[in-house]
Amino acid sequence: MDIQVWVGASSLLALSSMAGTALAWRYALHRQLLDQPGGRRLHARPTVRGAGIAAMLVFLLALPAGASWLALPPGSWLPLAIGLLALVLVGYADDHASVSARWRLLVQVLASGLLIWSLLPVPLPTALVALAGTVWLVNLYNFIDGSDSFAAAHAIVLGLVVAICAWQIGDVWLAWLGLALASVLLGFLPFNWPPARAFMGDVASGPIGYLAAMLLLLGWREGSVDPLLPLALLSGLITDATLTLLLRIGAGRRWYRPHRTHLYQWLRRCGLSALQVCGLYLVWALLATLCLWLWPVQWGAAPVAFALIYGSAALLWWRVRRNLLQGRRRNCLA
């Protein structure tokens, strides 16, 4: 397929998302859907939330458009769209009026189950592991959406890398999905660029985690993208969110309540800018991906490199966090 067609389609998605985000921003201002500074938040002024709805709606439209373009049956995209729409709707409701964690989790499990049922004809134990991983990615992306451009930038990189790898191998559908994710978030990014004028909100953060899982599972099913690749790209985020959650559970804290004790939040509170923190995590993502890509075959299988990546990420997380906490005692953190 001609590269000009891909560029044109990507540009159309990005511009549509940008225009829609501008409308969502105006709507949120009119409805006073604002995140106020203070508490667990890192921003310094009232900021619109929920503006990510435009990017998600454009992506939803990109599903049937891409399937029609590639002459794919409805079964290739309809279950994905239903699960995504369910998460968008519960996120939209939560951005307007808080939805209980129980109901959010129920929708997440149902949407994730539909995704796995439609993509993976696998034994029940494997399906349950995939279900737990997908639900965790949905929640993880909600957890790490706490600093300007942080969540959007990682999803853009993930989408582009998956798109390029899938396109080279000839998996045009997966390439389209990765490109669509990157494109709609590129349209949103100007509004989320530091200092952000708008936050994506729950209407987009959880659904992006769902889409990340979708790219991983679809690439695994088709054999076009090694599932270790997106996991390596997201290793910094996954390590930070997972270890922080385990630490809070072990300390007996209300782990399900909002907080600002992830490592990326500590770095911000210690004086690094949003772009500096985002850049550090993206550099790690690049190094982790290169490690997986360049891993010599004679040293063992790629899972060995994968274990090394996550082991190194966990060690780095622990060392940096310990240094920051020690700095807190020296009044590094107010």
The DSSP string of 28-64 is HHHHT-EEPSSTT---SS-EE--TTHHHHHHHHHHHH
pLDDT at 42: 67
Length of the chain: 334
Cα separation, 193 vs 98, whole angstroms: 26
Residue 331 pLDDT greater than 70, yes or no: no
Two tokens, residue 316: 């780095």
Residue 293 pLDDT greater than 90, yes or no: no
Question: Quick check: 295 and 305 in contact, CB under 8 A?
Answer: yes
CA-wise closest residue to 162 among 213, 111, 205: 213
pLDDT at 40: 62
Under the banding of pLDDT at 50, 70 and 90, the label for residue 115 is very high
**Range 35-45 average pLDDT:** 67
CA-wise closest residue to 202 among 88, 283, 297, 300: 88
**Range 12-36 average pLDDT:** 93
Question: Quick check: 68 and 178 in contact, CB under 8 A?
Answer: no
Count Cβ neighbours within 10 Å for each residue of 118-134 and write b for 16 or more, e otherwise: bbbeeeeeeeeebbebb
pLDDT at 38: 64
pLDDT at 41: 63
Under the banding of pLDDT at 50, 70 and 90, the label for residue 1 is low
Cα separation, 147 vs 205, whole angstroms: 12
Rg (CA), the chain: 19
Two tokens, residue 225: 């993208």
Cα separation, 200 vs 145, whole angstroms: 8
| Average pLDDT in the chain | 91
CA-wise closest residue to 145 among 225, 51, 219, 222: 51
Cα separation, 264 vs 163, whole angstroms: 27
| Burial label, 51 (beta-carbon count in 10 A; 0-12, 13-18, 19+) | buried
Alpha carbon of 212 to those of 156, 202, 203, 215, 270: distances in Å? 10, 15, 15, 5, 30
pLDDT digits (tens, 9 = 90+) for 222-281: 999 988 899 999 999 999 999 999 999 988 887 767 788 899 999 988 889 999 999 999
Handedness of CA 156, 168, 283, 325 (dihedral sign): positive
* pTM metric for this prediction: 0.93
